[in-house]
Amino acid sequence: MPLEQPPTLQDFFASWDLFADPALAGALAGAVLGALGVYVVVRRMVFLSAALAQAAGFGVAAAWFAQIHLGVPAAWATPTVGAGLSSTLAAVLMTGGDAGLKGRRDGWLGGVYLIGAAGTLALGTRIVQEVQDIETILFGSAVAVSPEDLRSLAWMVGIIGVIHVIGLRGFVQVAVDENGARVRGLPVRLLGLLLMGSLALSVSLGTRILGALPVFALTVLPPLAALRLAPNVGYAVLLATLIGASAGFLGYISAFLWKLPVGAAQTLCAAVLLAIAFLAGKILEFLHNRSAHRHGHIHGAGCGHVAIRHGDHVDYLDDGQLQHSSNDGHEIHGLASHTHTGNGQACHTDALNLPSQAQPHGHGHSHVHGAGCGHPRIAHGDHADFLVAGRLHHQHGDHCDDHGPVDIVD
Amino acid sequence: MKIAPIDIPEPSVPPSLVHCRDLVVGYAGTPMLPPVTVQVRPRELWAVFGPNGSGKSTVLRTILGILPPVSGDYICHAQSLGYVPQRNEIDPAIPARVIDMVRAGVERNWSFISPMWTWRRREAIDDALGDTHIRQLTKEPWTHLSEGQKQRVLMAQALAGNPQLLVLDEPTSAMDVHAERSIFALLDELRRRRSLGVMVVGHNLGVLARFATHALFVDKDQAAVAAGPVREVVGGSAFVERFGRGVADTLGPANAT
Q: Which of these CATH numbers, 3.90.1570.10, 3.40.718.10, 3.40.50.300, 3.40.50.10490, describes B1-79+165-251? A: 3.40.50.300
**Angstroms from B159 CA to nearest CA on chain A:** 12
Query: Environment class of residue A257 by beta-carbon count within 10 Å: exposed (0-12), middle (13-18) or buried (19+)?
Result: middle
Better-scored residue on pLDDT, A162 or A293? A162
Q: Would you list which residues of chain A are within 8 Å, Cβ to Cβ, of chain B?
A: 42, 44, 166-170, 172-173, 176-177, 179-187, 227, 230-234, 236, 294, 296-298, 300-304, 325-327, 410
Residues 6+ apart with CB under 8 A from A282: none
Q: How far is CA A9 from the centre of its chain?
A: 32
> Domain boundaries in chain B?
1-79+165-251, 90-163
Judged by CB atoms closer than 8 Å, whether chains meet at B144 and A298 is answered as: yes
Partners of residue B110 in chain A, C-beta under 8 Å = 170, 186-187
A236 neighbourhood in chain B, CB within 8 Å: 95
CB-nearest partner of B179 from A170, A177, A302: A302
Tell me whether residues A303 and B149 touch, CB distance under 8 A: yes
- With bands split at pLDDT 50, 70 and 90, how would you rate the model's confidence at A158? very high
pLDDT of residue B231: 86
Coil, strand or helix: which one is B242?
A: helix
State the fold for domain A9-291.
ABC transporter involved in vitamin B12 uptake, BtuC (1.10.3470)
What average pLDDT does the segment A42-49 reach? 87
pLDDT (0 to 100) of residue A328: 53
Domain with CATH 1.10.3470.10 in chain A: 9-291
- In chain A, residues with a C-beta closer than 8 Å to the C-beta of B80 are 184
Which residues 6+ apart lie within 8 Å of A3 measured at CB? Answer: none
The SS3 call for residue B203 is: coil
Q: How many CB atoms lie within 10 A of CB A373?
A: 15
Quote the Cα angle for B81-B85-B89, to 5°. 145
pLDDT band at A351 (very low <50, low <70, confident <90, very high): very low
Report the alpha-carbon distance of residue A26 to residue A266 in Å, rounded.
Answer: 8
Q: How confident is the model at residue A2 (pLDDT cuts 50, 70, 90)?
A: low
What digits encode the pLDDT tens for the residues A66-118?
A: 988 888 888 888 888 888 899 888 888 776 655 555 556 777 788 888 999 89
257 residues of chain B, pLDDT tens digit each: 455 555 555 556 678 898 999 999 998 888 999 999 999 999 999 999 988 888 898 999 999 888 999 999 888 888 889 999 988 889 999 999 999 999 999 999 999 999 999 999 999 999 999 999 888 889 889 988 888 889 999 999 999 999 999 999 988 887 777 778 888 999 999 999 999 999 999 888 888 888 999 999 999 888 889 999 988 888 888 888 888 777 777 765 545 44
- Among B60, B80, B88, B107, most A C-beta atoms within 10 A, so best to mutate, is B107
pLDDT value of position B76: 84
Q: What is the mean pLDDT of residues A271-291?
A: 88
Q: Say whether A182 and B110 touch across the interface (CB within 8 A).
A: no
Residues of chain B positioned with their CB less than 8 A from the CB of A333: none
Lowest average pLDDT, out of A19-33, A280-294, B212-226, B241-255, goes to B241-255
Number of H helices, E strands in chain A: 13, 9
List pLDDT tens digits, range A370-387: 777 778 888 777 777 888
Q: Which residues of A touch B183 (CB under 8 A)?
A: 302
